[in-house]
Structure 1
């Protein structure tokens, strides 16, 4: 059952939050994906019982009884939240993040905590604390990262809804790899925190992951809206579509990067089908400043990690995932001017996207250039027949974070081995509801391809 269906059934008292929670707990217990790393059945049952009492008393709850998995870097009061790190192995969140409190008020029931890579800083969901999370369609593969646990939990049918974070594509790429929907809202559309200090300055967002756009939208509407505790949060205005809506397709997002042939062909087929449905889609690339690539902004992540965990790393490097340790080491070696140049690159990305969205309403592009790869590797060894660097799988998602704009990944096809990939839709900051409208329409048109 989808989240919308569960909420309707619980509200109509055709089922109960307790029954939905018990079923989700049973599915999680039977799963060997390592998608959900912490459960607390006693707490979950108490929360479900409270939701049933609220429904019986006549409350209207948009997420009544919907089982939810929360990523292991978002505070949920009373739950062990570790960031996938040995440093926080025994940490219990003292309060809810604002978004989680809003989910609870809407009737959602947390049934588990979803795996993340350490500090959400890696494109494969594995950690020294919990080990690897596996792909629902092939246990030898990764669902990607860092929200691999939440994405795999939804794709495997353990829960209808999960909440991740996205600072560079962490809640778009894993959904694309496992065949579900991942929505990165505008920066500030959903309040961030209270929670852990962030190594990502002003780019990370709370992101719903669901089986379809309607469920992602339901969760978003519950969590969205300004809160005085987050000075970057704001209230969205409804944004009506232009007449006609201006859409563009960029097969490589204007970047000189490799894409697997089957992914490229599948994306083109999806766009052709959208055009055949009546959408006027032009071919148009964003124009980026010369020599601008993700490498230009990666120092921000490394510097952030070093600022937060450099001293702990110096004291005991063995506490850290070796891949994260390398990032911290890089961060410790950066100069102030290195960080300044990375901040300037981030600003240039935002300005380039802003200019593009004066001419186009919605941009269609790949979410990922490849399908899932073995979980023992940071990335595929090659993409598009060319040797691939460890971050080559992530090329199409980070720019949206640095621009603060909303982006959503929807399933749009599978390769010859049956592995999914996604179509990414992007629009201007604050136009989240317009983007969700377009994505819902595209989802219906593309249903036959997935």
Structure 2
């Protein structure tokens, strides 16, 4: 089955003539026709995809692909600008606008030959940990359509995990690649600041916290896409074996027992691979950062709405309320928030004497689709970001992190994340690669595989 191939295998099949981009696109469109309405992963589909696939097929037949990814069908998150398709960001006003240019990461992928299948649904303004909006509705998890795939890259992960795309491009402003990847058994890279250059996109309501990164069913696909997105930067050498700090919990924040069990199994797997893994607490007090976290998105939305009132008028009431709160922020308050961010960046620059930090990607399993968050974790009541306690600090610190699935034989996938120092994206992949198991398809939830 063509749609079950990872991107690397598909491109190899193009090179040998075993299959073609047109075959791949037909397979993807068939999957979307079968399961698209069930999962609601796409907010828009390209109308030129089959034509573009035909052109790529002809190039491969001539032995003249335009780049290393020629003919590869990929889904793009709907807050990343892509020519010919709305960057709706879950908003009806933006959904009526069709950009005529690609944001820089998309332009790099297209130059390498990528075919954009369509846009992956996202919560409005990508500031939520679930995927639902008034314009396109809720996206569902392929492993259990009653549940959310998380957010804000929920549409992308649902499509990739269901075989409705070979890979995807997402964003991560507080865990929006890592948690959804964990909920769907995928590999996702949250790059450090500056690793994947941006430009020509939507407003950055989450400051420089939000970075663009690849999501795929295999680590080798993430490597391949990352090399294209960054111009194949050299890896940073780090001594082996790695010194890894394993942090199972943060303060008194609860975590689901099954996730902690999977975490301990991952620790033992890394130790068996030869790494020096020590379990302990994160040696930094995140309370100052956490106190101002919610204000960042509010202030960002307030500034954005002032520049684009049409988008503000179309926004869901809760986001208009957020922006109203943000308008009341003083320069002194913003300064204190930024000061907490800079303090963290200085403290985390050397990872407190470790080469990497291992944490769960999320504190909770997926919850019912359309609901904003699980109301409790491990019997303890939690707020909107109770499930997201492990991820936001990495964005604020500007560091790279790789999300990867723990080994789980059945049930819902469980994700882990390995956080590295600045510039160590490729090295994180080197550490994780030997311990990864193949992608586990969500069979039989979506019928015969």
**TM-score, normalising length from structure 2?**
0.91
- Comparing 64-73 with 241-250, which one deviates more in the overlay? 241-250
- 2:344 corresponds in structure 1 to 349
Q: CA deviation at 1:292?
A: 3.1
Q: CA deviation at 1:441?
A: 2.0
Distance 1:275 1:290, change over 3 A: closer
Q: What is the aligned counterpart of 1:379 among 341, 353, 373?
A: 373
Q: CA deviation at 1:368?
A: 0.3
Q: Secondary structure of 2:32's match?
A: helix
- 2:166 corresponds in structure 1 to 160
- 1:240 corresponds in structure 2 to 237
Mapped to 1, the partners of 2:17 and 2:287 lie a distance apart of: 58
Provide, for residues 43-78 of structure 1, a one-character-per-residue CA deviation record: whole Å limited to 9, x for no partner: 111221222233234335322322100011111111
Q: Secondary structure of 2:372's match?
A: coil
CA contact (8 A) 1:274 1:445 kept: no
Q: Secondary structure of 2:287's match?
A: coil
- Matched ranges for 1:262-411 at <5 A: 262-289=258-285, 291-310=287-306, 319-356=314-351, 359-411=353-405
- Comparing 281-290 with 131-140, which one deviates more in the overlay? 281-290
Mapped to 1, the partners of 2:407 and 2:161 lie a distance apart of: 15
Q: What is the aligned counterpart of 2:147 among 126, 141, 144?
A: 141
Mapped to 2, the partners of 1:389 and 1:310 lie a distance apart of: 29
Mapped to 2, the partners of 1:279 and 1:306 lie a distance apart of: 46
Q: Secondary structure of 1:127's match?
A: coil
Mapped to 2, the partners of 1:442 and 1:241 lie a distance apart of: 18
Q: Secondary structure of 1:22's match?
A: helix
Q: What is the aligned counterpart of 2:72 among 66, 72, 75?
A: 66
- Matched ranges for 1:146-295 at <5 A: 146-225=152-231, 236-252=233-249, 254-289=250-285, 291-295=287-291
Q: What is the aligned counterpart of 1:440 among 423, 433, 439?
A: 433
Mapped to 2, the partners of 1:441 and 1:372 lie a distance apart of: 27
Q: CA deviation at 1:239?
A: 1.3
- 1:128 corresponds in structure 2 to 134
Q: CA deviation at 1:290?
A: 6.4
Q: CA deviation at 1:446?
A: 11
Q: Secondary structure of 1:187's match?
A: coil
Q: CA deviation at 1:311?
A: 7.1
Q: CA deviation at 1:293?
A: 4.4
Provide, for residues 59-106 of structure 1, a one-character-per-residue CA deviation record: whole Å limited to 9, x for no partner: 353223221000111111111221110121211122011211211222
Unaligned ranges ≥5, structure 2: 441-449
- Comparing 131-140 with 161-170, which one deviates more in the overlay? 131-140
Q: Secondary structure of 1:297's match?
A: helix
CA contact (8 A) 2:108 2:229 kept: yes
CA contact (8 A) 2:186 2:439 kept: no
2:8 is the alignment partner of 1:18: no
Mapped to 2, the partners of 1:57 and 1:348 lie a distance apart of: 56
2:81 is the alignment partner of 1:75: yes
Q: What is the aligned counterpart of 1:52 among 35, 51, 57?
A: 57
CA contact (8 A) 1:297 1:345 kept: no
Q: CA deviation at 1:316?
A: 9.1
CA contact (8 A) 2:350 2:421 kept: no
Mapped to 1, the partners of 2:319 and 2:407 lie a distance apart of: 32
- 1:228 corresponds in structure 2 to none
Mapped to 1, the partners of 2:272 and 2:432 lie a distance apart of: 16
CA contact (8 A) 1:122 1:324 kept: no
Provide, for residues 139-161 of structure 1, a one-character-per-residue CA deviation record: whole Å limited to 9, x for no partner: 22111111000011111111120
- Comparing 239-248 with 153-162, which one deviates more in the overlay? 239-248
Q: CA deviation at 1:345?
A: 1.3
Q: CA deviation at 1:181?
A: 1.2
- Matched ranges for 1:28-43 at <5 A: 28-31=32-35, 32-41=38-47, 43=48
Mapped to 2, the partners of 1:373 and 1:419 lie a distance apart of: 11
Unaligned ranges ≥5, structure 1: 226-234
Mapped to 1, the partners of 2:377 and 2:385 lie a distance apart of: 11
Q: What is the aligned counterpart of 1:431 among 424, 431, 441?
A: 424
Q: What is the aligned counterpart of 1:3 among 7, 21, 38?
A: 7
Provide, for residues 346-383 of structure 1, a one-character-per-residue CA deviation record: whole Å limited to 9, x for no partner: 112212211425x1112111110010001232110101
Mapped to 2, the partners of 1:215 and 1:83 lie a distance apart of: 26
